[in-house]
């Protein structure tokens, strides 16, 4: 869990060290992104950026040494790219969500920064619902700091890339987390074997940017797709036959 964030000004020596460390990323991040990362240092969320652990179409994820306001040794920074055009395909998850009705469709920076804010808020809902998901720590503009899921400094693998020893238990855990989210009036909207980390024997849902509240016009369709996707994967990979329609009825009770 995160502890109270300190707002005390850092000593000049610490500030110099942080600025020197951030120079590693010069030419990769724009100035506004650099300032958002600096805010993470200044608020003691992270003390050092280590290395990139995941590259995606929309964001890169970096391993970081946690600062004094975070209990765990490591954290991650998810940095959404400001130049990407793939967010055009994500508008159906944002427009229609009453939390973000005032977003300007022609402003890419605003859309991406709102997506970051949206993922933080959705992870907060997941945390309150006691869902297996990373704990969100802080966000600023297009940078999201959250819990590192892994062992030592090694990130947990995605479900797709490993063979689980008890697939039925894993599937049941995923469905139970979908149910908990639904009871908290949230639908993940993009559950698949690529968006689940296996931390030991426990599946963790990730990538919550597209999650929508139940009042979203497509929430029920997204829920049905989530359940269909995950049951289809376990049926093809492990031969486990679960009735998706029956699971949906149990989730919606």
Residue numbers of the domain that contains 106: 12-151
Greatest C-alpha distance within the chain: 61
Q: Tell me if residue 207 is catalytic.
A: yes
Q: Are 146 and 134 in contact (CB under 8 A)?
A: yes
Same domain, 139 and 174: no
Distances, alpha carbon 95 to alpha carbons 62, 109, 124, 155, 186, in Å: 29, 15, 20, 33, 15
Annotated catalytic, 50? no
Q: How many CB atoms lie within 10 A of CB 36?
A: 23
| Residue whose pair of structure tokens reads 């995941």 in the numeric block | 54
Same domain, yes or no, for 245 and 143?
Answer: no
Domain boundary, last residue among 151, 174, 191: 151
204 has which bridge partners?
197
The residue annotated as part of the active site, out of 190, 201, 226, 243, is 190
Q: Clarify whether residues 174 and 68 are in a common domain.
A: no
Asked if pLDDT for residue 137 goes beyond 90, the answer is yes
pTM metric for this prediction: 0.86
| Chosen domain end from 131, 151, 171 | 151
Are 115 and 229 in a shared domain? no
From 151, 170, 201, give the residue that closes a domain: 151
Q: Which of 5-14, 25-34, 157-166, 204-213 has the lowest mean pLDDT?
A: 5-14
State the total domains in the chain. Answer: 2
The band of 158, judged by pLDDT with boundaries at 50, 70 and 90, is very high
Q: Residues 97, 177, 207, 226: which is the catalytic one?
A: 207
161 domain residue, yes or no: yes
Query: Does 169 lie in the same domain as 86?
Result: no
Q: How confident is the model at residue 209 (pLDDT cuts 50, 70, 90)?
A: very high
What single DSSP character describes residue 144? E
pLDDT tens digit string along 16-46? Answer: 555 555 554 444 578 889 999 999 999 999 9
Residues 243, 136: Cα–Cα separation, whole Å: 33
- Across the range 108-130, mean pLDDT stands at 93
Q: What is the pLDDT of residues 123-135, one digit of tens each?
A: 999 999 999 999 9
Flag whether 6 is in a domain: no
* Per-residue pLDDT tens digits for 6-17: 444 445 545 555
């Amino acid at each position: 869990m995160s502890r109270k964030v300190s707002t005390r000004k850092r000593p000049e020596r610490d500030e110099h060290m942080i600025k020197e460390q951030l120079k590693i990323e010069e030419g990769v991040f724009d100035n506004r992104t650099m300032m958002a990362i600096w805010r993470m240092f200044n608020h003691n969320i992270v003390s050092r950026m280590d290395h990139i652990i995941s590259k995606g179409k929309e964001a890169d994820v970096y391993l970081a040494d946690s600062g004094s306001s975070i209990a765990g040794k490591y954290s991650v920074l998810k940095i959404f790219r400001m130049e990407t055009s793939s967010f055009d395909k994500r508008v159906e998850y944002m427009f229609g969500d009453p939390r973000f009705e005032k977003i300007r469709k022609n402003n890419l920076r605003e859309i991406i920064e709102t997506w970051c804010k949206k993922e933080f808020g959705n992870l907060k809902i997941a945390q309150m619902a006691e869902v297996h998901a990373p704990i969100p720590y802080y966000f600023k503009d297009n940078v999201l700091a959250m819990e590192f899921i892994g062992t030592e400094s090694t990130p947990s693998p995605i479900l797709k890339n490993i063979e689980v020893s008890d697939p039925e238990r894993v599937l049941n855990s995923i469905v139970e987390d979908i149910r908990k989210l639904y009871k908290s009036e949230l639908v993940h909207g993009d559950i698949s074997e690529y968006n689940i980390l296996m931390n030991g024997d426990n599946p963790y849902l990730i990538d919550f940017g597209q999650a929508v509240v139940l009042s979203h016009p497509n929430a029920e369709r997204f829920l049905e797709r989530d359940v269909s996707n995950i049951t289809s994967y376990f049926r093809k990979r492990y031969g486990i036959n679960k009735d998706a329609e029956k699971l949906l009825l149990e989730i919606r009770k």
